Amino acid sequence: MPSARLTLDPRFTVGAVHRRVFGSFVEHLGRCVYDGIYEPGHPAADEDGFRTDVLDLVRELGVSTIRYPGGNFVSGYRWEDGVGPRESRPRRLDLAWHSVETNQVGLHEFARWNDKAGSELMLAVNLGTRGVQEALDLLEYSNVRSGSALSDQRAADGTPEPFGVRMWCLGNEMDGPWQLGHRSAEDYGKLASQTAKAMRQLDPSVQLVVCGSSNSAMPTFGAWERTVLEHTYADVDYISCHAYYAEKDGDLAGFLASAVDMDRFIESVVATADHVKAVLRSEKTIDISFDEWNVWYQERFHSEDQITDIEQWPYAPRLLEDVYSVADAVVVGSLLISLLKHADRVTSASLAQLVNVIAPIMTEPGGPAWRQTTFFPFALTSRLARGNALRVELACDTYRTSQHGDVPVVDAVATHDPETGRTALFLVNRAIEGPVTVTVDAAALAGVQVLESHTLHDGDPYAANTLAEPSRITPAENKSVLLENGSLTVELPPVSWTAISLG
């Protein structure tokens, strides 16, 4: 039986775990907003038309920050369309997703929903088809208390107090040829710098995210980050990363090692940012906002979901509604491990997306809402990961993959909260066949006991939760966990994700 060894010691810190790492993403795409969070005719709808069953699940998920309103959608979005009387709001054609946007949910409605969800609002500005002035207008409308035309308009539109949005994205995926307003790194860097400087003149407290590469396979990856940061380093706080993973050609072993790619992606962007820091002789450090990440079967979208005839562009179509398996959930759990292993630099992240669209929560119009398999590793990690991320000094067997080379069979990270004394350990077994025994040196955690243990696993790694079987997969207590004489032993079943809380 393969084995692994690691050490839990509160002195071996990576960095503080920032709550913004457990963010998510709501875009006007498919049924994420309409028939997702908002369905006025639903039996569970509240006075604002929001589904309370979805809100309950969002709160259970433990989402800290929600990025809005896009995504590709934002590069053609006029924020003014979504404010003022609903009966006067225009219907628009959304060029990003070939859909009709009614604008019945806009800034006020989403901010109200966000408050109900207990999350922080993170806004993106349109730097695709718009620019500096429109970003300033949105910032004034959102954050200035009163006494200006746009702040007074916000009050007249029904929200006297400012939204107080702290975190702002300067466009979306501007390196992508698919993006409205796509431009070179040089041109985008200049525009982002101008926009950032102007926004800080209006509100110096804003925290700004500049666009990094859409993924690490982009031909401009690395060079894009360097050029953009050369223009914006003094003006912004974060550079974004986006990454999606999927099983391809039946290569489950390679798919389960997806976090190896995320690790390399993060470390490459950190190295590039620090290179620019050195060249500019700056004392400032740029952090990473990994504001789009998930498992996404993009080939399904391109082969099945594309809508091309403009006369048939629908309202709230079923787009990107991937049904997630146990294997997908294990990968999501391992991607969360990767984010925590880089807690010193990844201080914000957004699981894309939240409801219906490549999402941990699914709904049926007029019907139920349920948890996908990917819901569980996110919810448990968000609840248990507190304090500082720890280096665990993992030693284990490896296996060979065609995509990533030799990779560890087990992936792991831990967190420790000095205030409560609680420690959380997160483990993934990538082995397709057979369990792995993990031995943990916990001597530095004197006197602790196992408070809870959860393992997500099924004999069929492709088992999923569906409308017909919404509770087919749920985490179970891992009864193999044994803590004795400062040593913790746990058996991990194949293709599984485990969380253990000690205190």
Question: 159, 106, 137: which is closest to 203 by C-alpha?
Answer: 137
* The dihedral sign for the CA sequence 61, 66, 68, 70: negative
Q: Dihedrals φ, ψ of 75, to 5°?
A: -75, -5
CB-based contact 265:339 (threshold 8 Å): no
Of the candidates 225, 247, 292, 491, the residue annotated as catalytic is 292
Question: 211, 97, 204, 167: which is closest to 348 by C-alpha?
Answer: 167
Would residue 173 show up in a list of annotated catalytic residues for this protein? yes
Q: Which amino acid is at 478?
A: N
Would residue 47 show up in a list of annotated catalytic residues for this protein? no
How far from the centroid of its chain's Cα atoms is residue 311's Cα? 34
Report d(CA 433, CA 495) in Å as an integer: 8
CB-based contact 195:132 (threshold 8 Å): yes
CB-based contact 230:189 (threshold 8 Å): yes
- Return the SS3 of 498: strand
Question: 159, 375, 340: which is closest to 266 by C-alpha?
Answer: 340
Of the candidates 80, 109, 140, 173, the residue annotated as catalytic is 173
Inter-CA distances, 315 with 72, 86, 379, Å:
17, 17, 31
The catalytic residues are 173, 292
